[in-house]
Every structure is written in structure tokens, then in C-alpha cells.
Amino acid sequence: MKSLEELLRPNIRDLAPYSSARNEYSGRVARVFLDANESPYNAPYNRYPDPLQTELKAAISKVKGVAVENIFLGNGSDEAIDLPYRCFTRPGIDNVVAIEPTYGMYKVCADINDVEYRPVLLNERFQLEADKILAACDEKTKIVWLCSPNNPTGNSLDRDEMMKILEEFDGIVIIDEAYSDFAKQKSFRHDIDNHPNLIVLNTMSKAWGCAAIRLGMAFAQKDIISVFNKVKYPYNVNLLTQQKALEIMKDPFDVDKWVRMLLGERSRMCDAFRLLPICKEVFPSDANFFLARMTDAQAIYDYLVERGIIVRNRTRITLCRNCLRITIGTRSENNELLAALRQYI
Ligand SMILES: *Cc1c(COP(=O)(O)O)cnc(C)c1O
């Protein structure tokens, strides 16, 4: 791997970060806060939140088995997807390589940051081929994007192929594990100690049932975490989000139950889809959704919308011709979908 100094944008490497009022005092017990131009009224909302989310990170550390110093928290994964561009890639000069098809935000953020985006096709089983990814990289490639389980395909990527990219690529490898709570495969977050170029993303938006509060995570060695902390908005995770996330992290038993129910429903739904005359293929899923190839995705999508049922039409995505992406809902929601599809003519 290249050194972090070589990989970082020069302006970020040399950046003197904003120093907030709350950053500057530390250690001593304070009683009177007249440093941040806050209102003394309307507690607790009058105070700026903890910029480094110390208490929440301690709780996440226990649940995820990752040291506090290796955790970055952001305003959804969206922030943790945008930050690496702003830290590593020089607009108009550098490029990133990503699997295709995958989650659309990697490309949107590349376009916003004026960074060349190089998609590399998965094979017909939606599997990763490390050599093809490595062949697409050159000396200006700063980041390789992997997503496992992948969206919209649903499958986990081959672990050995991912490991090969981690070991042979000399830049940053980001593995988005938004759906890892639904997968059997071991998370890459336990490999960060051995791989200084690895960033693993996670989110509260899927298995944790907290899409509304906007909390995403990045796990990496502490040098990378320090750079993210330097570049992020000082108070990027608001107080309400920190409080709500802490509450659910301290009592995650519902989440385990939700995941078990969704996995049961996923297998029931996949089996039921395979029996539908209008379904040609159900792709294997390690997530809380699955991809199904239909006879005519657009017509079936329109028919469902007409009945107030919204699925995701992926027919225009590379390799996903005539595919619908179905999120697993409650048992009764899933039954509504099946009933509608069984009446489709
Ligand atoms: C849903 C999803 C996310 C979550 O993004 P948030 O900003 O945390 O809500 C991240 N990555 C992938 C691949 C997703 O599908």
C-alpha cells in the first residue's frame, strides 16, 4: 500500500482543522459554559452535541467488536461515502474503480466531486473477479468500491476475491456492509488491524430499523479515522440521533428478533416467487431484499403501483434486465404482494 501521505489530497494532508469551543477544553471538570455562544435556556437542546460522539462510540464498540479509536460516525453512510472522495481524490485528476452493478451513491459522489468513476462488470452470477478490478486500476486510482452483500443484486461477494484486492491494490479499499447483519459471511470490520488500506461501512438504516435518524459508521485504522474527523462538519451527528442510537445500541434484542423474522420471510418469499409463472429467476440473497428476473418488469411494476404496492424496478441497470428488487416487509405486506402477483395476467 502507498503511504497515507501519498494517498491523501495535499490540501487535506496539510489541513489545519476547525477547532470548536468544546474541542479546546478537555479533561478538567467544567461547571459554567460561557465559551460557545450558546443560549443558557432550553436544556438539553441549547448545547452543541459531542463532536466525537464518545458515549455512543463506546456502545457501538461493544456491539460491533471494534475499538472506539477505529470508529467514525456520520450523517448516514452517505457522509461516509462522500468523505473518502473529499479526503483522497483530486477532482479532475484521480479516479475510483467500483463493481457494476452496485449502489448508486458511489457514482453520484464521484460525479459531485468531479472524479472519474470506472465501473467493472460483475460476472453473470453477480460475482467479483479480483483480476478484472485490479486491471482497471492505474497510478491515479485512489479508491476501490466493493459492496457486500451487494445492492441491488443481494449476494455476498466472494471473500477470497475481496481479500485479493485488499492485498494487491495499493490504494484505499472500501467495503460497504450495509446489509451484513443479514449475511452469514464474516464481517471485514474484524480485519482492519491487518489492513491499513481498508475502510468498512455500516449503517443503522437497515437491520437496525433507524433509517430516519441518519447514522452511518466507518471502521478503519486510526490514521484514516483521524483524517475523517478533521474533514467532517464539527457537529455532524446531532444530539437527537446520538441519544436514539445509544438507546437502541444498549438494548439490541429487538434487532436480533427483527433480523430472524426477516430472514424467515425472505426464504418464504423467494420460494413463492420461484413458483410464480411471471418469475423467471430468483437470485440468491444475503440481504433484506432479493432480486428477481420477471417476464416483463416494467409492466409488473406498473401493475403493482396501480394497487398501491411499490417495489424497485431495476430493469435499466446493467445485468438487471427485467429485474425487480423486492424488499422484505412484514408477513402481511409480503402476502399482499404475493396475492397481487398471483392475480397478474
Ligand atoms: C441502504 C444502503 C446504505 C445506507 O445508507 P444510509 O445513508 O446509511 O442510510 C448504504 N449502502 C448501501 C449499499 C445501501 O444499500
Interval 52-106: pLDDT, tens = 999 999 999 999 999 999 999 999 999 999 999 999 999 999 999 999 999 999 9
Which residue from 100, 102, 103, 177 has its CB within 8 A of the most atoms of ligand 1, so it is best to mutate? 103
Q: pLDDT-derived band of residue 19, with 50, 70 and 90 as boundaries? A: confident
Question: What's the Rg (C-alpha) of the chain?
Answer: 22
- Residues with a CB atom less than 6 Å from ligand 1: 76-78, 103, 147, 151, 176, 178, 203, 205-206, 211, 216
User: Rounded to the nearest whole angstrom, what is the distance from the C-alpha of residue 262 to the centroid of ligand 1?
Assistant: 18
- Cβ distance 116 to 163 under 8 Å? no
Asked whether the predicted pLDDT for residue 135 surpasses 80, the reply is yes
Average pLDDT over residues 278-290: 98
- Mean pLDDT value across the chain: 96
Average pLDDT over residues 211-221: 98
- Cβ distance 264 to 271 under 8 Å? no
Return the pLDDT at 107.
98
Return the pLDDT at 292.
98
Asked whether the predicted pLDDT for residue 21 surpasses 80, the reply is no
List Cβ neighbours of 168 (8 Å cut-off, separation of 6 or more): 130, 134
Asked whether the predicted pLDDT for residue 275 surpasses 80, the reply is yes
Report percent pLDDT > 90 for the chain: 94
- 17 prior amide bond cis, ω within 30: no
* Confidence (pTM): 0.96
Distance (Å, whole) CA 272 – CA 259? 20
Task: Using alpha carbons, select from 143, 137, 71, 148 the residue that is nearest to residue 113.
Answer: 143
The residue whose CA is least distant from atom 12 of ligand 1 is 178
Return the pLDDT at 78.
96
Average pLDDT over residues 192-211: 98
